[in-house]
Chains A and B, each alone.
Chain A
């Protein structure tokens, strides 16, 4: 009986350790850019809000495990960290492409291109005009 319990206990220890390591595979931190070890191009999933500079970076850490950090993309200090600077570049490039596409379409709509509803919602052209004035 004692042997059985010993085996069960050892098994549970093993499972606990393996799951503990599993949860360590993806950690998240909120830190200054200087202390982040983000290798260039290691960013894999970015969540970016151009309006606020919020940038969450999921990246492959030195151990090969995925790690995460949230930074302010407008913080000049982040440009000194090459890996973070590259992630910011990726985020901003994607945002620029969204803006370029929106500008072209908004301009076309205001120049008379057909307005098509989506899901029963008719687009608001006044918002398009405002966007062009502010962003294009």
Chain B
């Protein structure tokens, strides 16, 4: 009997992080109304994401197709009936008020770690200014202006599937997703104990998984 109680208690303890961690999928926006999908829904073009890239390429295009197919008609995406539709709006990397995400390819020196290895990218999510909000007829806060920085040498020195994963992962941050480890995910946090290991599905990511979509649902209540 004692052992049964012990087993039950430990089983409950084991499953607890899966539930408690669900909202950890969200990134921490400076306000409740953060993120580009919030703005696109408010502005009447829900799910459409216009990209300005300093180097449009096939890795980006394939990643956008993967993201659309893995977010269309899914249970967690009922508010985005046509899924997330990303498209290269500009290929000169110039920001303007119509662009939602900027993808900026930078030299690998920007990504060099103290031990000499290089990370593949970085997401910098800048809160939209009050002028931007007013320009679009709404009020501050009204979402964000994310910049995805990509390590050029690492990106183009790797396979197409790596490129897809890198774009899917970094733009996942742009949508408001944090790293997580509660299930198979594009946003895997790199811990060896993750359900799909430390590398996760990086390098073979066909788009977003259920936990990634759940994160998007959590970000935009």
The answer to whether A135 and B194 touch (CB under 8 A), given A8-B7, A26-B24, is no
Q: Cβ of B221: which chain A residues have Cβ within 8 Å of it?
A: none
A112 at the interface (CB under 8 A from B): no
Query: Which residues of chain B in 99-152 are interfacial with respect to chain A, using CB atoms and an 8 Å cutoff?
Result: 99, 102, 104, 110-114, 119, 121-127, 129-132, 134-137, 140, 144-145, 147, 149
Q: Looking at the assembled complex, report how far the CB atom of A13 sits from the nearest CB atom of chain B, in whole angstroms.
A: 6
Q: Cβ of B16: which chain A residues have Cβ within 8 Å of it?
A: 19
Q: Is the CB of B136 within 8 A of A124?
A: yes
Q: Is the CB of A16 within 8 A of B13?
A: yes
The answer to whether A19 and B18 touch (CB under 8 A), given A46-B123, A60-B119, is yes
A50 at the interface (CB under 8 A from B): yes
Query: Which residues of chain A in 1-59 are interfacial with respect to chain B, using CB atoms and an 8 Å cutoff?
Result: 2, 5-6, 8-9, 12-13, 15-16, 18-23, 25-26, 28, 39-52, 54, 56, 58
Q: Looking at the assembled complex, report how far the CB atom of A42 sits from the nearest CB atom of chain B, in whole angstroms.
A: 6
Q: Nearest CB to that of B141 among chain A residues?
A: A49
- How far is B144's CA from A95's CA once the two chains are assembled, in angstroms? 11
Q: Is the CB of A66 within 8 A of B43?
A: no
Q: Is the CB of B7 within 8 A of A58?
A: no
- How far is B194's CA from A22's CA once the two chains are assembled, in angstroms? 6
Q: Count of A-B contacts with CB under 8 A?
A: 203
Q: Cβ of B99: which chain A residues have Cβ within 8 Å of it?
A: 101
Within the complex, which residue of B7, B14, B27, B179 is in contact with A19, where a contact is CB–CB below 8 Å? B14
B40 at the interface (CB under 8 A from A): yes
Binary B-proximity of A55-91 (CB < 8 A = 1, otherwise 0)? 0101010001110101000000000000000000011
Q: Cβ of B110: which chain A residues have Cβ within 8 Å of it?
A: 41
Q: Cβ of A102: which chain B residues have Cβ within 8 Å of it?
A: 95-97, 129, 131-132
Q: Looking at the assembled complex, report how far the CB atom of B218 sits from the nearest CB atom of chain A, in whole angstroms.
A: 15
Query: Which residues of chain B in 165-194 are interfacial with respect to chain A, using CB atoms and an 8 Å cutoff?
Result: 173, 178-181, 189-191, 193-194
- How far is B31's CA from A124's CA once the two chains are assembled, in angstroms? 24
Q: Is the CB of A131 within 8 A of B129?
A: yes
Q: Cβ of A22: which chain B residues have Cβ within 8 Å of it?
A: 17, 181, 191, 193-194
Within the complex, which residue of A9, A16, A48, A118 is in contact with B126, where a contact is CB–CB below 8 Å? A48
B-contacting residues of A (Cβ < 8 Å)? 2, 5-6, 8-9, 12-13, 15-16, 18-23, 25-26, 28, 39-52, 54, 56, 58, 60, 64-66, 68, 70, 90-91, 94-95, 97-102, 104-106, 116, 118-124, 126-128, 130-131, 134-135
Closest 10 CB pairs of A and B: A101-B95, A25-B191, A127-B134, A131-B131, A119-B44, A12-B10, A119-B45, A49-B127, A94-B124, A119-B43
A-contacting residues of B (Cβ < 8 Å)? 3-4, 6-7, 10-11, 13-14, 16-18, 21, 24, 27-31, 34, 40, 43-45, 48, 94-99, 102, 104, 110-114, 119, 121-127, 129-132, 134-137, 140, 144-145, 147, 149, 173, 178-181, 189-191, 193-194
